[in-house]
Structure 1
Amino acid sequence: MQRSKKDYVVLAGKGVLMGAADAVPGVSGGTVAFITGIYEELIHSIRQCGPDALKILFTQGFKALWAHINGTFLLILLSGIVFSLLTLARVVLYLLDQHPVLLWSFFFGLILASTWSIMRHTGRLSLNVLAVFILGTLVALQITSMTPTVTDPSYLMIFMSGMVAICAMILPGISGSFILLLLGMYAPVLMALKGLQLDFIVVFVLGCITGLLSFSRILSWAFAHYRVLTLSLLGGFMLGSLNMVWPWKYTLSYSINGQGNEVPLQQKNILPDTFYALTGQDPLTLAAIGLMFVGMVLVLILDRR
């Protein structure tokens, strides 16, 4: 695909948004990739980075390899993601800590409208499509209802966490950050990025690369042979993930992480009035609904691409 310089600037911006989304437990960078129109190109490009790529490198040279893997696309997008994780992600995490209701509200509207967007591409609703959609919803509900753990990671745990989390990160509706939270690896990964712990980062990235190269082949095959059902499953993942991003939560239990900080371990979704009664905090209902609307409108604008 031929792109202008402006197109690549926009692509980098999409990478920044993906990185910011992946920093929040409950939100998937894959969701952003889908609503911005680059999801299938991303999956196909990653799939190309396999054994065939090495063969092309040694037989035809680097230029042919770069074209084969859609290298410029991947480089620009990855640059945006990394830039976001190192910079913008801190802003998102600050908002998550200081203004959680408002941030969750925005993402709730974003994901709700994204569910409609992805299902719109399945065409006419059939029994098979509906069944797969319900299956995806139930799977996501089950995952987002699990209780996170807290652990001190070994190198093997860091590697395996990277493998599993990156698969979730490229799935719309399944949050890689939340998978890390379930594994007790969310805080350690953020601390490693913040403190530039190179050994930790290298092992985690190797796990991500391994998981990405293997899982992208499965996704690419699924889109090629079962496109409508695959979209239905991803739509179900999105709908089920709304359980995780509901704005008003009440913490039932806390845990102490490896840094000695108290962190929420188990939370329950509640209504705004109940939130006020239990916490004494302003539920910011009107502002929250407004931000839900903003999130939905943003998706509808992007969906007109």
Structure 2
Amino acid sequence: MVLEQYCLVSAVGILCVIFGLYEKLVNSILDIFKNFKKNFTFLFPIVLGIGIGFLFFSNILNSYFVTYQIEFKSLFLGLILGGIPSLFKQANKEKKFKFSLLLYTFISFCFGLFLIFLEKNLDTSFFITENNFLFLFLCGFVMSCGIIIPGISSTVILMCFGIYYTYLESICTFNLNVLLPMGLGIIIGCITFLILIRFLFKNFYSKTFYSIIGFVFGSIFIIIPNSFSLFSILLFLLGLFISLKIEK
């Protein structure tokens, strides 16, 4: 169930890349105080949407997703596949295509598949009970990588640290002894990875974007439904149509 729930979060990050929002989002967050009005105007509706979406997902949509997994996955699959041409267009906007760039796509694609394999096969009963401040801070810091980079699962990162269920329980019980150091790690980690992503975009744009494309392709395997119905096919086509229209 963890994997299925994660696919929605993963899809949202991927769609930001597909719709051309990712790079602008990174720059707007890091430069929020340089041109506050412009960046705030751009970020506010996104943050508002995320906030409303989080509440919506946590209550209504999460339960619907369990019941209608095939339909939701089909819609997201259409949205993502329809945006693939846009990804390559964005990746090649600074330099012409070179076959060598596909190596970066292949490496990140394999890494994305490896993360999916881990998430499916990790022993979720494995957990660490002795958690000190530095360890929890480190968990939050590394977890932020999954928040910033599309296609990387924060869930599998926490599972590898053996703290996934500790984290979930802490949210439910509002355990500040866990949430504060992890939250601090997440904040500092997000800023660090945002700076890193911007540096990579600035100096290695094509290589970075082709790497992100690999993560996107890898994440598609999370979203592919186990079966299809006529309605799910229609939703897939709807997602495909919407994505292609937005691209134009």
- With normalisation by structure 2, the TM-score equals 0.77
Matched, 1:120 2:89: yes
Higher-helix-fraction structure: 2
Question: Which amino acid counterpart does residue 221 of structure 1 have in structure 2?
Answer: F
Contact 2:15–2:79 (CA<8 Å) still a contact in 1? no
- Letter paired with 1:25: Y
Which residue of 2 is the match for residue 227 of structure 1? Answer: 205
For the pair 1:96 / 2:40, whether they are aligned, the reply is: no
* Deviation (angstroms), 1:213: 0.9
1:140–1:158: structure 2 CA closer, same or farther, 3 Å change rule? same
> 1:143 is matched with which residue: 115, 131, 136?
115
Segments of structure 1 that go 5 or more residues without pairing to the other structure are 1-22, 50-63, 249-271, 273-283
Identify the residue that residue 46 of structure 1 maps to in structure 2.
29
Who is 2:229 aligned against? 285
- For 1:226, the aligned partner's letter is F
* 1:43-99 CA-partner distances (Å, limit 9, x unpaired): 1233347xxxxxxxxxxxxxx667399455445533432332233343332123212
Match of 1:107, as an amino acid?
F
1:113–1:128 distance in 2 versus 1, CA, 3 Å? same
* C-alpha distance after superposition, 1:152-205 (max 9, x if no partner): 664656544432332222222334355446656556555655665555444432
CA separation of 1:191 and 1:211: change in aligned 2, threshold 3 A: same
Does structure 2 retain, via aligned residues, the 8 Å contact 1:66–1:72? no
Q: Does 1:242 align with 2:223?
A: no
Q: Which of 1 and 2 has greater Rg?
A: 1
- Correspondent of 1:106 among 75, 80, 98: 75
The aligned runs of 1:113-192 (5 Å cut-off) are 113-123=82-92, 124-146=96-118, 147-150=121-124, 151=127, 154=131, 158-177=136-155, 179-180=157-158, 189=167, 192=170
1:198-217 paired onto structure 2 within 5 Å:
200-217=178-195
Gaps of 5+ in 2: none
Equivalent residue of 2:188, what SS? helix
Q: Which residue of 1 aligns with 2:239?
A: 295
Cα distance in 2 between the residues matched to 1:208 and 1:299: 31
- Aligned residue for 2:91, secondary structure, equals coil
CA distance in 2, matches of 1:102, 1:181: 28
2:18 maps to 35
**Closer, same or farther: CA 190–164 of 1 in aligned 2, 3 Å:** same
Distance 1:84 1:186, change over 3 A: farther
Task: Tell me the CA shift for residue 138 of structure 1.
Answer: 1.3
Q: Relative to structure 2, which stretch is displaced further, 121-130 or 148-157?
A: 148-157
Q: Secondary structure at the match of 2:234?
A: helix
Distance 1:191 1:119, change over 3 A: farther
Higher relative contact order (CA 8 A, sep 6+): 2
Distance 1:87 1:175, change over 3 A: same
**What secondary structure, in the 3-state scheme, does the structure 2 residue paired with 1:25 have?**
helix
Change (3 A) 1:176 1:116: farther
Give the fraction of aligned pairs with identical amino acids, expressed as a percent: 24
Q: Aligned pair in 2 of structure 1 residues 174, 217: CA closer, same or farther (>3 Å)?
A: same
- 2:122 is paired with a residue of what secondary structure? coil
Size of the aligned set, in residue pairs, is 234
Q: TM-score, normalised by structure 1?
A: 0.64
Please tell me the root mean square deviation across aligned C-alpha atoms, in Å.
Answer: 3.1
